Every structure is written in C-alpha cells, then in structure tokens.
Amino acid sequence: MQVRPITQAEHERAQHVKSTAFLRVSQDISPEDTSWRQIRAAFDDDGTMMSCVHDMPFVSQLNGRMVGMCGIGGVASLPEYRRRGSIRAIMQHILDDAYARGDVLSTLYPFSFAYYRKFGYEVAQAINAVTIPMSQMAHYAPFGTARAFAAGDDLAPFQAVYAQFIKGRNLACDRDDAQTGRPLWHSWLGSKFVPGKIREYAYLWRDTDGTPGAYALVCPQGQGDDTAFEVYDYAFVSPRAFRGLMGFLRLLDGQASSIRIRLPEDMAPHTLFPQPYDITVSGQPRGMVRLVHVEKALHTLAAPGLTGEVVLGVQDDMLPQNSGAWLLSLEDGHAYVQKTDKASVFNLNIGLLSQLVCGTLSFEQATYLHDFSLDEEQTAFLTRVFPKRKQLLIERF
C-alpha cells in the first residue's frame, strides 16, 4: 500500500471514491476547484486508489491563543477495499504531517465515535439544538436596526462581529486565515445572496449607535403552520447584542411558528425564555478532537495566579512523540513544559488529555468517569488547571 497526496489528475478518482462511500452522484469538478491539494489517498499495490481523506489546515482558538488545527473530512474507502487498514494508514500520514507543520489540534465530525477513538480522538463538545416558539421569542424587545445582506455588500461588519464572538471559545476557527485556502466568507456570503432569488437570508444587526453587533444566517424549513426558521450560522459580540439579534428574529413571527438555533453548551437555553416548558432543547455531542502536539498544547494552560506542577503520564499510540511523562510547571501566567524522568502522578490517554486541555470536560467531571487515585492537593491543583471552558466548533468540513 502507498499513501501520499494526490495529483490534480487523480482528483476525479478521489471524487469517485467519496461519492461511492457517501452514496452520492459525482459532481463535475470545476477548473477553479483546488481542494485536491488537501486530499491524501491510499493506493493498492497495482496503483488503484482505494481510500481518501481531506487534510484541511485551519487556525483555531485554544485557551486564548490561535493555534494550527488539522480539520479531517471526506473520510472514504471503496467497499471492496475496506478493513485493510487504508484509512488508518492515511490518518497516520496526516497526523505526522500535522505534527510536522506545527499544528496543535485536530478535529472532525464522526459517523461513529468508536471509530475515530481508535485514532486518539474524543468527543469535542456538546451543543444544544433549541426550538423556540415565536410566543417565547416575544420576550426579546426589538432595538437597534437590521439589514439583509445582498451579494456585493461589505463583508467587513460580519467579519468583525465573528472575530469578537469567537474570543474565548475553544475550537472556533479563524475564518480569515489565508493558510486554509478556504475563503469561507466568500463561499458563505458570496454571490448566492441575490435578493428574491434565494430562500436564505443573512441579517446584520446594528446597535442603536450603528455599531455592528450580531448577524444571523437563516433559512425557512417545512411548510405552512410548521414552518420554522433555521438559524444556521450566527455571531454576537455581547449579551446585549444577543438580545438585539433575538429582538430582530422575533419579527419573523409572521412567516414561521418557531426559530431553531444551535447554541453552545454554556448558553443554558432554559434560562433564556419566560416559559422554558415551551422550548425544546436537545443536547447533542458534536465533533471530536485530539491534540496533535502535547507540548504546545500544555503551554496554553498558563493562567495568571495559577502556580504549581504536575507530572502527566500521556499515552498516544499514533504520535509517540506525545507519549511519556511530561512535567507541567505553572508560575503566574507562564507554563514550562518538558519531558521528565520523574514518575507520573496522573496517567491518561491522548483522548482524555485532549478533552481536558480543550475544556470539553473539567477535571472534576473526569473524576466521575475515572478513578485517578490522586491525593487532595493534586486534585485541587488539577481542578484549577483543567476547568470547563467555552467552546464552539461549528465550521463545516
């Protein structure tokens, strides 16, 4: 078996592998489509492409810093070549590359959590899918102004709102980063928003002083009395801007009976409406994450006032550079990280460490799952090192 990046000439074959795996009809490839550069494939000894995976470099938030994040997508094997380890071989290739280019994280959206756990990934976050009847939206009084985006309008206010929104939310991606080669704004808010030609709407909300504060991309779903507006992307710069956005979205009440929106776990949807019995909340796991570079990831744990040290015993079967005993010393806003010969006191696999560093789980929450057999002092320190953190993984890849 050979694993390597594909050539442009092999793009159509990769498209065939993916469309077979995802039961789709192959789309024609446009000459401007450069996504083949992200595709890594496994070839049989006779040169047949058996499987492929996209390696998409993003930049994302991690504990107040922006770090390289390897997005995994388009994982596909032709049925006749499955269970031969070709996806495992491609994942190894991609993770090695990601480590070499300095990425700290990798994320993906799994079809099966058990499958990607084999490669060191763990559940990344939970998100609340919330259905709000318009009667409950009425709690939010309109203020400020809103305007529908039309193709050709200035993207800058949307970009500024988003940049503010993602601050402090782990795993949220930098949508302006040129490195990704994916001009997200232009594909999401590009030419498709022609007024009257599309049943999707992008609204920018401005505060009373004219400052851009929030946006929502909405799409009606269903028919007649069951019509709901799906808010499929949104951002807001502050709680006040959230209220302003909701105050605008309630004005859609003439066209739909409810609003559907996926809110991050920390937004506690039952507290946001006067009659919480009337809203439907479905908590859903979303995405998986793994650390690619343990040393760099541990550096992001520094926090003012946090002092102490711990030796972590890490097990990472795919990236053995990450395995071993790591001494993490924290001193008032600085983190010192090094491999050590000291005995580890806290042993964990790369999946659990990934969740703790990203704040999917707090250390306390992890002790509901595992008996770490630590003393009181170590437990108190680790509780401070690994708090629950805000997250938002919503990029589509």
Residues 27, 16: Cα–Cα separation, whole Å: 9
Which residue's CB is nearer to ligand COA, number 15 or number 258?
A: 15
Which residue's CB is nearer to ligand COA, number 64 or number 85?
A: 85
Q: How far is the CB of 20 from ligand COA (least distance, A)?
A: 8
Which residue's CB is nearer to ligand COA, number 85 or number 285?
A: 85
Closest CA to 170 of 68, 294, 63, 301: 63
Which residue's CB is nearer to ligand COA, number 82 or number 339?
A: 82
What residues does 314 pair with on adjacent strands?
324, 348
Which residue's CB is nearer to ligand COA, number 37 or number 84?
A: 84
Residues 209, 169: Cα–Cα separation, whole Å: 27
> By the 8 A CB rule, do 217 and 201 touch?
yes
Q: How far is the CB of 151 from ligand COA (least distance, A)?
A: 32
Q: How far is the CB of 261 from ligand COA (least distance, A)?
A: 24
Q: How far is the CB of 83 from ligand COA (least distance, A)?
A: 5
Which residue's CB is nearer to ligand COA, number 15 or number 300?
A: 15
Q: How far is the CB of 22 from ligand COA (least distance, A)?
A: 6
Q: How far is the CB of 78 from ligand COA (least distance, A)?
A: 8
**Binding residues vs ligand COA (CB under 6 A):** 21-22, 51, 75-77, 82-88, 110-112, 114-115, 118
Q: How far is the CB of 183 from ligand COA (least distance, A)?
A: 24
Residues 327, 344: Cα–Cα separation, whole Å: 8
Q: How far is the CB of 113 from ligand COA (least distance, A)?
A: 10
Which residue's CB is nearer to ligand COA, number 89 or number 161?
A: 89
Closest CA to 106 of 289, 359, 287, 316: 289
Q: How far is the CB of 82 from ligand COA (least distance, A)?
A: 3
Which residue's CB is nearer to ligand COA, number 86 or number 180?
A: 86
* Other CB atoms within 10 Å distance of the CB of residue 86: 23
Which residue's CB is nearer to ligand COA, number 96 or number 253?
A: 96
Q: How far is the CB of 42 from ligand COA (least distance, A)?
A: 8
Q: How far is CA 343 from CA 32, 298, 331, in A?
A: 54, 18, 21
Which residue's CB is nearer to ligand COA, number 18 or number 389?
A: 18
